[in-house]
Amino acid sequence: MKTNPRTAPQRGFHFDYLMWLFTRLSALAMYLLAIAAILAALLMSARQNMTVADLMRWAFMPNPNHVANTNIPDIEAWKGIFWQVMGILMLFFAGAHGLHGLLNVLEDYISRTWVRNFLRGLVLLVWVFMSAIGIYVILTS
């Protein structure tokens, strides 16, 4: 197999390094958002009969439609700007982290420069599109 030489990674602050850091920091941010939402669910007195799915529903998308069938007495508490912002933050971190990760994996197996550049553009477009419909769903539910 013939591989094209590529420029060696630069040292210091540059895009790939920043994304490396972002991957780690967004992972921490997702942990904090998930813990905050689970604590909130417990404070809203969801203490009995919770399932794994309920836990996931609160943790990763604290949004009235998404938690509607979980063991929460009052769905009203999840409405409002605060949980919308929390949902959008989760969407932002998960989307950017996940799609950058996908790109990372693809680039491990693809070395042709134009294909890599094409994929970077494509993944960016997918990210913008998924974020747009995701925010739409959050704000309309």
> DSSP labels for 60-87?
H---TTTTTTSS-S-GGGG-SHHHHHHH
Nearest-approach distance from CB 34 to another protein, in angstroms: 8
- Which residues have C-beta within 8 Å of that of residue 111, sequence separation ≥ 6? 3, 4, 6
**Binders of ligand HEM among 14-73, rule CB under 6 A?**
23-24, 27, 30-31
Nearest-approach distance from CB 23 to ligand HEM, in angstroms: 5
Comparison of 22 and 77: residue with beta carbon closer to another protein: 22
Q: Do the beta carbons of residue 33 and residue 93 sit within 8 Å?
A: yes
Q: Residue ranges of the alpha helices (H) in the chain?
A: 15-43, 52-60, 81-109, 113-139
Q: Do the beta carbons of residue 37 and residue 20 sit within 8 Å?
A: no
Q: How many residues bind another protein (CB under 8 A)?
A: 30
Nearest-approach distance from CB 133 to another protein, in angstroms: 4
Which string of x and - marks every residue 88-107 that binds another protein (by CB under 8 A)? ------xx--xx-xx--x--
Based on the shown chain and the rule CB under 8 A, indicate whether residue 6 belongs to the binding site for another protein. Answer: yes
Where on the chain is the footprint of ligand HEM (CB under 6 A)?
A: 23-24, 27, 30-31, 94, 97-98, 101-102, 104-105
